[in-house]
């Protein structure tokens, strides 16, 4: 039986899920799809395709996987803040000659009335917070990268995350457990009710968590915007249609 071309999708994002949904009707007909998750969340699911979970073992492990599966095309549909895997994917794909596409949502950008301080990472973000001496800071950066903010004395930190954060230590911090999508009315209400005078966020892009930026603009709350980590240059698209067209082209050639 003829082997179908195989696409590897490096997932863990809504874009990856949308891509798999678009490819689903073709799976087993003219394409096989493997969806790879890091395994950070319990029981990750994909709408179709073969799911594999866990790291590959660095560049060499991924190169070995690409050759032995074998994989014909790969799509980096990782989160914009995934810093290591995009580099591993670019290097391994180059090493074994697998075409790689990045599917990534565009960054947020400023509009009239925004007051953003762009910073490169969490350490710069914490320095910016300390410099501004705010009273009430809303941290919407998840729960894994709180350490740079713990030594800051003065403000109260409102830490919004999906899973409970570790707020141990001497710092003044309060947990807000919530999961997007977030809507404008709720975000306005949160900023006003909690007297937030500084917002810290990652530039994730997308619509699910963008309402806080509109609310901040309306209420005159400044934003410390942590920009995305640098990535190796790879052909990048922002829509599922572009990604499926790219896969079609590659698959027809193979
Ligand atoms: P990372 O720093 O780029 O990757 C760390 C290691 O995790 C990689 O070296 C790789 O291990 C493994 N890995 C990452 N993504 C993988 C995947 N899709 N399949 C198999 N192994 C993977 O990534 P991260 O920031 O820890 O993110 C992990 C996952 O969560 C990614 O799938 C990402 O899309 C998703 N995510 C991240 C964020 C964020 O803010 N960083 C937010 C939402 C979702 P090996 O070297 O052993 O192969």
Closest ligand 1 atom number to CA of residue 36 = 19
Q: How many angstroms separate the alpha carbon of residue 162 from the centre of ligand 1?
A: 18
User: Cα separation of 176 and 32, whole Å?
Assistant: 41
Distances from the Cα of 31 to the Cα of 22, 63, 193, 205, 213, angstroms: 12, 21, 51, 30, 40
The percent of residues above 90 in pLDDT, for the chain, comes to 89
Please tell me the predicted confidence (pLDDT) of residue 26: 92
**Residue range 185-190: average pLDDT?**
98
pTM recorded for the entire structure: 0.90
How does residue 15 score in pLDDT terms, banded at 50, 70 and 90? very high
Please tell me the predicted confidence (pLDDT) of residue 46: 83
**Residue ranges per structural domain of the chain:** 6-106+230-253, 116-226
Please tell me the predicted confidence (pLDDT) of residue 148: 97
User: Cα separation of 65 and 143, whole Å?
Assistant: 32
Which of 8, 49, 82 for mutating ligand 1's site (highest number of atoms within 8 Å of CB)? 82
* E strand or H helix that includes residue 21: helix 14-23
Residues with CB under 6 A from ligand 1: 10-13, 36-38, 40, 55-58, 61-62, 78-79, 81-85, 88
**Residue range 103-117: average pLDDT?**
97
CA-nearest residue, atom 39 of ligand 1? 81
Instruction: Write the CB contacts of 103 (distance below 8 Å, at least 6 apart in sequence).
Output: 15, 16, 19, 75, 76, 77, 236, 237, 238, 240, 242, 243
**Residue range 7-14: average pLDDT?**
94
Q: How many angstroms separate the alpha carbon of residue 198 from the centre of ligand 1?
A: 29
**Residue range 50-77: average pLDDT?**
97
Q: How many angstroms separate the alpha carbon of residue 71 from the centre of ligand 1?
A: 19
| pLDDT at residue 75 tops 70 | yes
Please tell me the predicted confidence (pLDDT) of residue 1: 64
User: Quick count: other Cβ atoms within 10 Å of Cβ 127?
Assistant: 14
When mean pLDDT is compared across 17-31, 42-56, 125-139, 195-209, the lowest value belongs to 42-56
The three-state secondary structure class of 90 is helix
CA-nearest residue, atom 23 of ligand 1? 82
User: Cα separation of 88 and 75, whole Å?
Assistant: 13
The mean pLDDT value of the chain amounts to: 95
Task: For the domain made up of 116-226, give the CATH fold.
Answer: Rossmann fold (3.40.50)
Q: Do domains 6-106+230-253 and 116-226 have the same CATH topology?
A: yes
User: Cα separation of 223 and 214, whole Å?
Assistant: 11
Q: How many angstroms separate the alpha carbon of residue 82 from the centre of ligand 1?
A: 6
pLDDT digits (tens, 9 = 90+) for 17-61: 999 999 999 999 999 999 999 988 767 778 889 999 999 999 999
Closest ligand 1 atom number to CA of residue 58 = 46
Q: How many angstroms separate the alpha carbon of residue 108 from the centre of ligand 1?
A: 22
Provide the CA 77 distance to its chain's centre, in angstroms: 9
Q: How many angstroms separate the alpha carbon of residue 90 from the centre of ligand 1?
A: 14
The backbone region for 206, taken as left when phi is positive above 0, alpha when psi lies in -120 to 50, beta otherwise, is left
Task: For the domain made up of 6-106+230-253, give the CATH fold.
Answer: Rossmann fold (3.40.50)
| pLDDT at residue 110 tops 70 | yes
Q: How many angstroms separate the alpha carbon of residue 38 from the centre of ligand 1?
A: 5
- Residue with more model confidence, 183 or 14: 183
Please tell me the predicted confidence (pLDDT) of residue 252: 77
Please tell me the predicted confidence (pLDDT) of residue 8: 98
User: Quick count: other Cβ atoms within 10 Å of Cβ 13?
Assistant: 20
Please tell me the predicted confidence (pLDDT) of residue 158: 98
| pLDDT at residue 146 tops 80 | yes
Closest ligand 1 atom number to CA of residue 87 = 3
| pLDDT at residue 251 tops 90 | no
Closest ligand 1 atom number to CA of residue 41 = 30
| pLDDT at residue 254 tops 70 | no
């Amino acid at each position: 039986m003829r082997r179908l071309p195989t696409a590897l999708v490096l997932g863990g994002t809504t874009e990856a899920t949308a891509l798999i949904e678009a490819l689903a009707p073709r799976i087993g007909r003219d394409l096989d799809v493997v969806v790879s998750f890091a395994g950070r969340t319990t029981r990750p699911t994909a709408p179709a395709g073969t799911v594999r979970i866990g790291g590959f073992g660095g560049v060499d492990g991924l190169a070995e996987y690409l050759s032995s599966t074998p994989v014909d095309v790969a799509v980096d549909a990782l989160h914009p803040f995934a810093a290591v895997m995009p580099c591993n994917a670019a290097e391994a794909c180059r090493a074994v000659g697998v075409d790689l596409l990045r599917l990534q949502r565009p960054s947020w950008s400023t509009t009239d009335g925004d007051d953003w301080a762009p910073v490169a990472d969490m350490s710069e973000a914490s320095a910016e917070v300390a410099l501004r001496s705010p009273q009430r800071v809303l941290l919407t950066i998840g729960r894994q990268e709180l350490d740079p903010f713990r030594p800051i004395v003065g403000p109260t930190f409102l830490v919004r995350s999906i899973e409970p954060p570790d707020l141990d230590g001497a710092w003044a911090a309060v947990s807000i457990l919530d999961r997007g999508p977030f809507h404008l009315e709720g975000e306005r209400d949160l900023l006003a009710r909690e007297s937030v005078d500084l917002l810290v966020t990652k530039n994730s892009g997308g619509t699910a968590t963008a309402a806080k930026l509109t609310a901040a603009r309306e209420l005159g709350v400044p934003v410390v915007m942590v920009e995305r980590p640098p990535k190796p240059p790879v052909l990048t698209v922002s829509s599922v249609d572009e990604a499926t067209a790219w896969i079609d082209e590659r698959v027809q050639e193979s």
